Amino acid sequence: MRMVDLIDKKRDGKALTTEEINWMVEHYTNGDIPDYQMSSLAMAIYFQDMNDEERAALTMAMVHSGDMIDLSKIEGIKVDKHSTGGVGDTTTLVLAPLVAAVGVPVAKMSGRGLGHTGGTIDKLEAVDGFHVEISEDEFIRLVNEDKLAVIGQSGNLTPADKKIYALRDVTGTVNSIPLIASSIMSKKIAAGADAIVLDVKTGNGAFMKTLDDAKALAHAMVKIGNDVGRQTMAIISDMSQPLGNAIGNALELKEAIDTLRGEGPEDLTELVMTLGSQMVVLGGKAETLDEARTLLQEAIDSGAALDKFRTFLGNQGGNTEVVDHPELLPQAKYQIDIPAKSSGVVTEIVANEMGIASMMLGAGRQTKEDEIDLAVGLVLHKKVGDKVEEGESLMTVYSNTESIDDVKAKIYDNITIAQTGEAPTLIHTVITE
């Protein structure tokens, strides 16, 4: 086989065979195929698309390019949740103990944050002593015993995706549905998921800015998952404004505890219940979504969900006292209120820019090596659709420096107050095929 023939074929709009895709992924990963040929093929895919068979083949070729996590020693159906990323997205921190509390095993491999979206591990590390450096055996034992453990990314997972993604990043080929969908799905499958629940975000804070693009990506991923034998469904949820009220590591951890106690923000709670119900049904712990929702509500009301979180933190070295004493979490030196400059209704809180404001305070990494400040961030008191009076606090900034003029300017530039407005739709659609 010659790479140039595959490039010609795709450029002319023809489909590649599974054999050709396997060959191309194998030889690109081991360095036989040069970057210039792979980038040319990626551009041809960008313009000519891939059919369903090609997408599934590309996904599985990338899965097989490296190690796969073997979760077969964990009893039950391992359901993984994946979010396409957002600002202040505290969902995983709440969902994991919540569904574990009703018996769905959660064996989560997670990463650190980069840029303006936070990583689950960073948020958990706001708890003193908590760590994800556990052995694979320990990980499996904890999930079997307590239904929940989180491990840091280990092993050589999907090296083909890493290499192709890095190339796409600098060749104008990131924004291609077949390439994004296969990239995300390959990582979930390599991480051992039997079933996958996807939370595809839409809006300015998301990767997919429009609802149509989000739907196309969701359909593509659901189709790949189901075609390769992993039951997969997706919901499309709003990321035009930040999710919940808190943005920042310790602040989101506290928000997760509040939500597990049944006292969380309305939007975060609703999203968690929607995703959680799907996970419980896929995990075989309920027949219907209504039944699943009832189980989840009971776990919150009885305190079982919060207890599960406590057990989980303790199992991985964390100080479980934080659950009842959130003041033990890292605290910022200054709390600075941001008063509304006029009265009216909040009509816009640009999610992306709030993420950047939080990063300017030190909550996020610009490069992989950056140290982050776990204490800082934002807590919104008003969301889109809320009434506000002039002088009332829109949000509190948690900062370790007193001079935050640049952060304030960024916030004011990205919140709009008008005469009328309403809350955005939180959950747009559910996609099962």
Q: Closest-CB residue for Ca ion?
A: 244
Q: Is 325 a catalytic residue?
A: no
CB 393 → ligand URA: shortest distance, Å? 35
d(CA 191, CA 123): 21
- Of 89-97, 202-210, 326-334, 349-357: span binding Ca ion (CB under 5 A): 89-97
Q: Which of 180, 257, 282, 299 touches ligand URA by CB under 6 A?
A: 180
| Annotation marks residue 187 as catalytic | yes
140's CB contacts (< 8 A; 6+ apart) are 71, 73, 74, 107
Span near ligand URA by CB under 6 A; candidates 4-12, 176-184, 223-231, 290-298: 176-184
> Quick one: what does residue 246 bind among ligand URA, Ca ion, none, with the CB cut-off 5 to 8 Å set by partner type?
Ca ion
Identify which of residues 92 and 315 has a Cβ nearer to ligand URA in the complex: 92
Residue 107 binds which entry of ligand URA, Ca ion, none, CB below 5-8 Å type-dependent: none
334 binds, among Ca ion, ligand URA, none (CB under 5 to 8 A by kind): none
From the list 80, 122, 161, 267, the catalytic residue is 161
* Site for ligand URA, residues 27 to 86, rule: CB under 6 A: none
The amino acid sitting at 121 is I
Nearer to Ca ion, 92 or 186 (CB): 92
Sign of CA dihedral 400, 253, 313, 257: positive
Q: Which does 90 bind (CB under 5 to 8 A by kind): ligand URA, Ca ion, none?
A: Ca ion
Let me know: does 228 contact 56? Beta carbons within 8 Å: yes
183 is catalytic: yes
Based on the shown chain and the rule CB under 6 A, indicate whether residue 165 belongs to the binding site for ligand URA. yes
Q: How far is the CB of 135 from ligand URA (least distance, A)?
A: 26
- List 108, 168, 383, 428, catalytic entry: 168
Q: Does 256 bind Ca ion (CB under 5 A)?
A: no
Query: 398 and 379 in contact (C-beta within 8 Å)?
Result: yes
> Which range, of 57-65, 108-116, 177-185, 245-253, touches ligand URA by CB under 6 A?
177-185
Q: Tell me the CA distances in angstroms from 364 to 87, 116, 367, 406, 408, one per residue in order.
A: 11, 6, 9, 16, 17
Q: Which stretch binds ligand URA (CB under 6 A): 10-18, 113-121, 179-187, 243-251?
A: 179-187
Is 8 annotated as catalytic?
no
151, 182, 239 from 251: Cα distances, Å: 22, 33, 19
Q: Which is nearer to ligand URA, 190 or 384 (CB)?
A: 190
Extract the tokens encoding 178: 């077949």
Q: Which of 10, 82, 223, 428 is catalytic?
A: 82
Active site residue 310: no
Cβ–Cβ under 8 Å, residues 269 and 259: yes
Smallest gap from residue 57 Cβ to ligand URA (A): 17
Smallest separation (angstroms) from ligand URA to the CB of 188: 10
334 near ligand URA, judged by CB under 6 A:
no
Residue 125 falls in which region: left (phi positive, over 0), alpha (psi -120 to 50) or beta: alpha
Q: Which of 183, 278, 320, 399 binds ligand URA (CB under 6 A)?
A: 183
The contact mask relative to Ca ion for 233-252 (x = CB under 5 A, - = no) is -----------x-x------
Return residues touching Ca ion (CB under 5 A).
Answer: 88, 90, 244, 246
Provide the annotated active-site residues: 82, 161, 168, 183, 187
Return residues touching ligand URA (CB under 6 A).
Answer: 165, 179-180, 183-184, 207
